[in-house]
Chain A
């Protein structure tokens, strides 16, 4: 059994990167592997917007990540600077920046690049999408 950390760099729906990352993560967990955390970086942060509203006959990637997280207690971490730069903000940042809205909430969390590096150190393998 292996211990992975997953890095998602592609936006939801703009490329197949994030869907592939989700499929890989699910398959790894179902096979009994461990995932230290999923780190959303670059355009990958667009996976975590709760305002993503795909049509009802499309695969709902944000919902799928949330369900995977609930089922396996999978940690889903946004790179905070990448997220803020792209308009993905949590309630905490919304309050700090006096914004009236936010679009990220649990189980997604905000973290620094340090969470990628510490996760990478404890994992057997980093897999980037």
Chain B
């Protein structure tokens, strides 16, 4: 078992990265890896509620984030300053995340075996 840290860095729907990151997160968790997720930069936009990706010709994978607990993915972090930058600090987010500082993120990266950036 390895500790995998999957980083959502890009905005959803404009590129397939977010969906592929989620696919990898769920699949690697089902292969009994210890998976944690972090949303940074534009990646925090994944957390916005009421998205309608079908208008962008994209599949709605946002709802699938609700399944993280079923896959025992418990560590889900979001960068506090990225949330601030996009005005999301006091917003209702689609999933419950732990808001962390860049120091926390550094510490998490140090304990991960592999870091995958999407």
Contacts and interface: CB of A to CB of B under 8 A. Distances in A.
Which of A42, A112, A117, A118 has the largest number of chain B CB atoms within 10 A? A117
Interface residues of B, number: 15
A120 interface: yes
A52 to B, nearest CB: 21
A120 B114 contact: yes
Interface in B26-58: 27-28, 31, 33
B2 A121 contact: yes
Given A41-B20, A42-B17, A117 B31 contact: yes
Interface string B82-118: 0000000000000000000000000000000010110
B26 to A, nearest CB: 9
Which label, helix, strand, loop or mixed, suits the secondary structure of the B interface?
mixed
A113 B29 CA distance: 12
B45 to A, nearest CB: 20
B20 A117 contact: no
A121 B1 contact: yes
A114 B24 CA distance: 9
A128 interface: yes
B16 interface: yes
B23 interface: yes
Of all A-B residue pairs in the complex, the 10 with the closest CB atoms, nearest first, are: A117-B31, A117-B28, A113-B27, A126-B114, A121-B2, A113-B24, A42-B20, A120-B114, A117-B27, A114-B31
